[in-house]
Amino acid sequence: MNNDQIRQELDPVIADLESKGITINSSPDNTTGLGDMVEATLQKFGITQERFKQFFNLQECNCSKRRKFLNSLLSWKKTGV
């Protein structure tokens, strides 16, 4: 499955959830979420937004939008902040 096919499958899912009132919310500095955890885990393996774009020859990957969306689905307060 190539990146365009993946995007074609994921973007309608996000649009459907947004139409049901689940939206990207800006998080306060003392919270973190699922998207942040996914991004941090991928970065540990050297997979950054820039490398992802290079791998698939993309100008934009919408990684930030997907991270924010996942954060809006599941987020929690950081301890010790």
Q: How many CB atoms lie within 10 A of CB 63?
A: 19
Which range (12-16, 44-48, 56-60, 66-70) has the least confidence?
12-16
> Tens of pLDDT along 18-62?
776 666 654 456 668 899 989 988 888 888 999 989 989 999 988
Report the distance separating Cα 15 and Cα 47, nearest Å: 26
Residue 80 has pLDDT above 60, yes or no: no
**Three-state secondary-structure class, residue 77:** strand
Q: Is the pLDDT of residue 13 over 50?
A: yes
* pLDDT at site 67: 92
Please state, in angstroms and rounded to a whole number, the distance separating the CA atoms of residues 30 and 21. Answer: 24
Higher pLDDT among residues 79 and 35, named by residue: 35
Write down the pTM of the prediction.
Answer: 0.58
Q: Where are the domains of the chain?
A: 3-19+31-74
